[in-house]
Structure 1
Amino acid sequence: MDIEIQKMCSPIRVVVADDHPVIIMGIRKILEIEADMDVVATACSLDDLDEILISHQIDVLICDYTFESDVGRDGTRLIGRIRRNYPDIRILVLSVHDELIVVRRLIAAGVGGFLSKASSALSALAGAVRKIHQGEAYIDPVIATALSIEYLRLLTKRGNPRATELSKREYEVVRLLSLGMTVGVIACHTGRSVKTISAQKVSAMRKLAARNEAELVVRFRELEM
């Protein structure tokens, strides 16, 4: 219990990786005033990032999608490699590459969140870090809206009936997830077991063709439009 309390009271250990030093300085300035966050290291290259990942204890990695030194220039492969080698690290992608196809690939690769460098929502960076550190998903509101519109059009075109198939309890679970609650908190809130809530979440994911929780939240927001 003491270890758990210590973990809860410890600052969120953040690493920032971007090949533009000005971006790193800006992120540092945003986060250094947050009492519950500690920027433990920064990386301007993939080699630097690899060394930091090996030598530091990290909770959240704020990472660009591509680096100049990355020969393949495929950010999805980079994210996939980090997810495989360091599954406990939560990743927040901060990038100018905010095309929907890129965001969809990143969500599928398992990132915890996405923020566009071009978005005014950059002021929400600290809040986004907190959410993904708690195991929740955060998608830039502008991007989430665009994804919702795109998917809604797809549903209309295909006449996909899955959007109306959520049971009352599945709908409730997804709604609470979209509000930022974790599965454990939802279980306490509804008086159901964690196992039941998890099963209802998985069922909702299947019906809405969501590959992970981030996609599930996006799909739910589409239904609410």
Structure 2
Amino acid sequence: MRQSERKRAIQLPVKVVLADDHPVLLVGVEQALQAFPDIKVVACVRQSTDLIHVLQNTRCDALVTDLAMPGGQYGDGLPLIVYLRRHFPTLPVVVLTMLENVALLKRLRELGVLGIVSKSDALSHVGLAVLYTTRGSEYLGPAVAASLDATRPGSDRNAAEAMLSTRELEVVRLLVSGMTPTGIAALLKRSIKTISTQKKAAMRKLGLAHDAQLFQYAQHNGLLNLSPHMHMSEIADDQASAP
């Protein structure tokens, strides 16, 4: 469906599904969206199994989802976004996340996510993101926009973290979740040597000397909240299509 066709198809109020594993935040987002008379929350879920079930059986115009939402059948993080984009390609997605890693933010945009809002932003930005994305326009919350702007030429920010590739970021995420390099290699269908090389590259870019520092970095940046459980086929397809 073309974006112009989607605009005509949507009738007010815009029907939204919310997904977040934190009940307090879920209530907070729902209350924030109630301030928008053109938005109506039709369902709230806390993991990917219920999310997919709702999307298959409930008419909605947009999805607002947390990126880190462990425990569901369809995983979380990028693999869940890949699944959503593949099976619900016309559904506008707004990602609500605590992560501001530029490589991750760029990958979300490459996958077709039109709305990205940081949990450090005011929740009113979620409503604005819903209204923008259902009209085919991109919306980035202030913290997300600042993170992306800071890596442009002329920025004074230390951009080491921003230089991590999506694959390096995924390896870091799985390592700090407790998986071994052998397990990661099997999951991502790469060689152990490749996993080791990507780990070393990530640590070099981040200026880290040993695994303890890598764990501290992951804890500080919220990567420990992401679940390592995901569909191997989804990851393999995503990696195959990655540049």
1:77, 1:4 → 2: CA distance? Answer: 25
Give distance in 1, aligned partners of 2:102 and 2:126: 20
1:161-188 deviations in Å (ceiling 9; x for gaps): xxxxxxxxxxxxxxxxxxxxxxxxxxxx
Q: Give the distance between the partners of 1:79 and 1:130, measured in 2 at CA.
A: 20
Once the two structures are superposed, residues 105-142 of structure 1 have per-residue CA deviations (whole angstroms, 9 ceiling, x without a partner) of 1111110110000224x322211210011000011223
Q: Does 1:22 align with 2:30?
A: no
Q: Give the structure 1 partner of residue 12 of structure 2.
A: 10
Counterpart of 1:142 in 2: which secondary structure?
Answer: helix
Contact 1:63/1:91 (8 A) holds in 2: yes
What is the identity, as a one-letter code, of the residue corresponding to 1:64? D
> Which runs of 5 or more residues in structure 2 are unaligned?
156-243
2:152 counterpart residue number: 151
Q: Which has the higher helix share?
A: 1
TM-score, normalised to structure 1, is 0.61
> SS at the partner of 2:100?
coil
Question: How far, CA to CA, are the matches of 2:118 and 2:99 in structure 1?
Answer: 7
- Counting only pairs closer than 5 Å after superposition, residues 85-124 of structure 1 correspond to structure 2 as 85-120=87-122, 122-124=123-125
Paired-residue identity, % = 30
TM-score by length of 2: 0.56
1:126 corresponds to which residue?
A: 127
Aligned partners of 2:51, 2:71: CA distance in 1, in Å?
A: 12
Q: Which runs of 5+ in 1 are unaligned?
A: 155-225
1:58 and 2:57 equivalent? Answer: no
Aligned-pair RMSD on alpha carbons? Answer: 2.5
Contact kept in structure 2, 1:65 and 1:94, CA below 8 Å? yes
Specify the code of the residue in structure 1 equivalent to 2:56: I
Alignment partners' CA distance in 2, 1:95 and 1:110: 16
Equivalent pairs, count: 151
